[in-house]
Structure 1
Amino acid sequence: MTPVSLGLRVGLAAVLVVSLFVILTAAALERAFRDSAEHAARERLQAQLYLLIAAADVGPRGELTLPERLGEARFNVSESGLYAAVHDARGRPLWVSPSARGFDVPFPVDQPAADTRFDRLDGPTPLHVLRMMVSWEASGTTVPLRFVVMEDLGPYQEQIREYRQSLFTWLGAMGVLLVAVLAGTLRWGLAPLRRVAREIKAIETGEQDGLRRAYPRELRPLTENLNALLGQERAQQQRYRDGLGDLAHSLKTPLAVLRGLLDEPALPPSWRRGADEQVQRMDDIVAYQLQRAATAGRRALTAPVDVGLVIERVLASLAKVYRGRPIEVIRDLQPELRLRMAEGDLMECVGNLLDNAFKWADGRVRVVARVQAGGLRLVVEDDGPGIEAARREAILARGVRLDEHTPGHGIGMAMVRDIVDAYGGRLGIEDSPLGGVRMVIELPLM
């Protein structure tokens, strides 16, 4: 599973935090506005209730009297949205405002004594209700009266809707602005990481040999350690090459001396033959092990090599070596094909395959280099005698040659196999449509 990128991870977290902040803020502000609106509605109804009580009068026999027209105009208009009523202790209506006449208003009557209650009455027409129980003193007697004032919830609900719409619009705009600011801040904050990635890409392509730019304190240990690692790798590789060169020069002289001693006429022919075979074997082993140790192998920071250019250079050299033989070379090379591989390793593989093809071909050699199935497919084939299926695996072993009379050490194909293995590739031997052998190398492009 591919890990989520750092920028996407932080961006999603920022969007989540901003969204949560906007939602919680909207819920808190809407709740506060709703409570404020309800409080204002209660204060308004309470003022109307006090005006109604002030306008009421109770006669000596307990009869309730209210003026025909009240000071609040909406009490006098039918279905105005503001209603009032007065009930006796048993809940029987003593007076109903003109606004409620002809309109079925569900006045609540379940009012405890000495209580003022504000609540909401649901139904076809939702209402805010304020009820108060009053004990009226008249001519030495107490008359219990229930005063009820109600207001239609329509204006209140419309006010809530308008506020909610305005709130969500502004909070949404603020959320988008915050996300944009956070995105810009995130991009600015992650810019050093993008610069590191670009410089590493330049190192991979061979454009530079290390991280050169100055980086923030938090990234400095990473960049300094990476530069140190690159320097150590280059120094170690150079030491390997120098050591291998010194070893080769050190061994050439003793082997040359041994070959000279074998030419002494005093030595018996049987000794000379046996010793010459052992010296030759030692020479082959040294050449093989030196080449094997020099193989760079797969490294992520290796600069890409132009495969077609390497093949053309090898073909140009072989044309001079085999200029006495008319060999037709058929090329099928993909343009701009680059492979992340040490140039020496690629040259060794291509050189060995093409040299064998030129050596055994009757007149035609075909070389193909193309991207196939996500990797490089390199094919070298000829129209020579071919290789028997039973012997194909054997020629990949060190020191094995198809023809002992043909010059060579018998280590070329073994070196090719080791190089291909070092890069995680595959080396195959097949029959060629040209009539000879087809050598196939498949390498990952990395």
Structure 2
Amino acid sequence: MGSGSIRTRLMLGAFFVLTSFLAGAGYALERAFFDSALSAHRARLQGDVYLLMAAAELDADGALVMPPALTEPRFSLPSSGLYANVSNPNHREEWQSSSTLGVRPPFPRGLQAGKWFYDERERDGKRYLTAAYGVLWADGPRAQPLSFAVVEEDTEFQRELKQFRNTLWAWLGGAALVLLIAQTLLLGWGLAPLRRVAREIRRIEGGEQTRLEEQYPTELAALTDNLNTLIEQERARQRRYKDALGDLAHSLKTPLAVLRGGLSDPTTLMQTVEEQVARMDGIVQHQLGRAGASGATRFAPALVLAPVLQRIVDSLGKVYAERNLQFEIDCRPKLSWKLDEGDVFEVCGNVMDNAAKWARSRVRCSVRVENRSLVLCFEDDGPGFSDTSAALQRGVRLDEQVPGHGIGLTVVADIVAAYGGEINLTRSGLGGGRVEIRLPAAA
């Protein structure tokens, strides 16, 4: 698998997105658990402070009196990790729980009455969670400040965090692995049509099949249809060139044979050469026109037709200037169609030139779109077609007095056929011939 493959790119992208998402989610969950666990520990310490306040008493002299044991057994166990302190600054006395034996917990001092104090402190390499509260203790008419503080080593807190962290990242890591495996399988399934397309193209290159034959999802259907169209167009183009070359070689045999035979009669040699060269020139023009037809293609840019038709009319106006022919064009200025410009010149130029040869005074060209087809209609006011089927046969001329080789309309018919269109010869409303060409839209 190449590093530039779509599968690799999608997998790397999915890996980085999934890793970033899970890292962010894990951090958020860990932070939420930290805040929740810290609040729970502070709430428990706050309860211990209330326990101290319930147990504390002042004697008649205002001295602090504490019971020998509290209901929380950890306060009585040395180095238990939970320590209590009550200070009476007016009498400069301070009571500490038995658990502080051999330990110097960081009790807060100088608390403001009526305010809770929470903190995280460090001493002698240990970290502590602290909760403290200052009160004005009423003793008859007098009131004196007392401070109640509870400090707990954060060993238990850190253990809970570590356990949650290990569990969290184990589950997130497992989920990430499962998701990556599932995404790999989904990508393999989703990209399977592309692999089938590549496989079919290799078969076409190897000559094992002629087109893409399998059914593909909607997203690839347009691509495979276009590939089939390109393959068919290229095959049709090659076939046209091959047929044109074969027909050219076959068609030239007769005039060459006539020229060879004319060598034995010097008196008619010049006339024979002139006739056969003209004939061969017509044959070559016809076959080149067939071979050069581009044919229908959905990939051709849309060609605006009005300017092309105007250029043809301008050229014909100069050719037939002495006859003062009137050329008319009925085509919307912005009308466009997917056609090769050379084919348009070949088709319209040949048909309009033929109409101009026969016309008495008027040649009319109209273009419209009808039923998803482009309709080109060419009319003249000449004598019209005496034989519509013969007019489309190569080399047949309806009036030998009109210059030409009888090639134009057959070249037009070949190009129209290459586009999958049709050509009809009828009588014009102007009184002469009418050539109607219908070209369907590219599939």
With the length of structure 1 as denominator, give the TM-score of the two structures.
0.57
Instruction: State how far apart, in whole Å, the 1-side matches of 2:209 and 2:77 are.
Output: 89
Query: Which secondary structure does the structure 2 equivalent of 1:229 belong to?
Result: helix
Structure 2 match to 1:214: 215
Displacement of 1:13 in angstroms is 2.0
Secondary structure of the 2:200 match is helix
Q: Match for residue 40 of structure 2? A: 40
Aligned residue pairs, count: 276
State the one-letter code of the partner of 1:186: L
Partner of residue 382, structure 1: none
- Give the share of equivalent positions with the same residue, in percent: 45
**Residue of structure 2 equivalent to 1:128:** 129
Question: 1:88: Cα distance to partner?
Answer: 2.5
User: Which residue number corresponds to residue 246 of structure 2?
Assistant: 245
Amino acid across the alignment from 2:66:
L
2:103 is paired with a residue of what secondary structure? coil
Deviations 1:144-195 (Å, cap 9, x if unpaired)?
1001101000110011011101100011000110111111111111111111
Aligned to 2:106: 106
Greater CA deviation, 65-74 or 172-181? 65-74
Q: Structure 1 residues 93, 122: CA separation in 2 closer, same or farther (over 3 Å shift)? A: farther
User: Is the contact made by 1:130 and 1:148 (CA closer than 8 Å) also made in structure 2?
Assistant: yes
Q: Match for 2:47: what amino acid?
A: A
- Cα deviation for residue 262 of structure 1 reads 3.2
- Aligned amino acid, residue 50 of structure 2: Y
Amino acid at match of 1:223: T
How far apart are the structure 2 equivalents of 1:114 and 1:98? Answer: 27
**Counterpart of 2:298?**
none
CA deviation vs aligned residue, 1:229-273 (integer Å, no higher than 9, x gap): 2112111111111111111122233233323333558899xx9xx
Corresponding residue number in structure 2 for 1:423: none
**What SS does the corresponding residue of 1:207 show, helix, strand or coil?**
coil
Q: Deviations over 1:264-300 (max 9, x none)?
A: 58899xx9xxx9xxx9xx9xxx9xxx9xx99xxxxxx
Secondary structure at the aligned position of 1:122 is classed as strand
Q: Aligned in 2, Cα 1:129/1:90: closer, same or farther, shift over 3 Å? A: farther
- The answer for the alignment partner of 1:20 in structure 2 is 20
Structure 1 residues 265 and 239, CA, compared in 2 at 3 Å: closer, same or farther? Answer: closer
What residue is the counterpart of 2:96 in the other structure?
Answer: 96
Alpha-carbon distance in 1 for matches of 2:182, 2:218? 24
Output the amino acid matched with 1:94.
E
Deviations along 1:398-436, one digit per CA (max 9) or x if unpaired, are: xxxxxxxxxxxxxxxxxxxxxxxxxxxxxxxxxxxxxxx
The residue that corresponds to 1:144 in the other structure is 145
2:171 matched to 1:166? no
Aligned to 1:298: none
Match of 2:60 in 1: 60
Rounded to whole Å, the distance in 2 between the matches of 1:135 and 1:218 is 78
Q: Report if aligned partners of 1:83, 1:149 keep a CA contact under 8 Å in 2.
A: yes
CA contact (8 A) 2:114 2:135 kept: yes
8 Å Cα contact 1:60/1:139 also seen in 2: no
Q: How does 1:10-409 map to 2 (within 5 A)?
A: 10-89=10-89, 92-123=92-123, 124-263=125-264
Is the 1:120–1:128 contact (alpha carbons within 8 Å) kept by the matching residues of 2? yes
How far residue 224 of structure 1 moved from its aligned partner, in angstroms, is: 1.4
Aligned residues of 2:211 and 2:228 also touching (Cα < 8 A): yes
Q: Distance in 1 between matches of 2:174 and 2:235?
A: 55
Gaps of 5+ in 2: 293-443
| SS of residue in 1 equivalent to 2:219 | coil
Residues 161 and 259 of structure 1, relative CA distance in 2, 3 Å threshold: same
How far does the alpha carbon of each residue in 1:198-224 deviate from its partner, in whole angstroms, 9 at most, with x for none? Answer: 111110111100011111112111111
1:34 to 1:93, Cα distance in 2 relative to 1, 3 A? farther
TM-score if structure 2 supplies the norm length? 0.58
Unaligned runs of 5+ residues in structure 1 are: 295-446
Counterpart of 1:99, as a letter, is S
SS in 1 for 2:126: coil
Contact 1:91 1:109 in 2 (8 A): no
After superposition, the C-alpha distances for 1:364-383 in whole angstroms (9 at most, x for unaligned) are xxxxxxxxxxxxxxxxxxxx
Shift of the 153–91 alpha-carbon distance from structure 1 to 2, 3 Å rule, reads: farther
Counterpart of 1:430 in structure 2 is: none
SS for the counterpart of 1:126 is strand
Partner residue of 1:299?
A: none
Partner Cα separation in structure 2 for residue 91 and residue 247 of structure 1? 128
Distance in 2, matches of 1:26 and 1:129, equals: 28
CA contact under 8 A between 1:49 and 1:149: conserved in structure 2?
yes
**Structure 1 outlier segments of 4+, above 4 Å:** 90-93, 263-268
| Cα distance between partner residues in 2 of 1:9 and 1:54 | 67
- Report the CA distance shift for 1:3/1:25 in structure 2 as closer, same or farther (over 3 A): closer
Once residues 151 and 3 of structure 2 are traced to their aligned partners in structure 1, the CA distance between those partners, rounded to angstroms, is: 62
* Aligned partner letter, 1:185: L
1:92-133 C-alpha deviation (Å, 9 max, x unpaired): 551111111221222221422321111211332110100100
Distance change >3 Å, CA 182–CA 259, structure 1 → 2: same
- 2: CA distance, partners of 1:183 / 1:148: 57
Contact 1:121 1:127 in 2 (8 A): yes
Q: Aligned AA for 1:182?
A: Q
Take 2:198 and 2:11, find their aligned partners in 1: how far apart are those partners?
Answer: 19
Q: Measure the CA separation in 1 of the matches of 2:128 and 2:35.
A: 16
Distance (whole Å) between structure 2 residues aligned to residue 233 and residue 139 of structure 1: 111
> Are the aligned partners of 2:106 and 2:122 in contact in 1 as well (CA < 8 Å)?
no
Evaluate the alpha carbon distance shift between residue 266 and residue 91 of structure 1 in structure 2; reply closer, same or farther with a 3 A threshold.
farther
Give the 3-state SS of the residue equivalent to 2:172 in structure 1: helix
Q: Distance in 2 between matches of 1:179 and 1:265?
A: 91
What displacement does 1:135 show? Answer: 1.1
Give the corresponding residue for 2:420. Answer: none
1-side partners of 2:40 and 2:112: how far apart?
24
Question: Structure 1 residues 62 and 167, CA, compared in 2 at 3 Å: closer, same or farther?
Answer: same
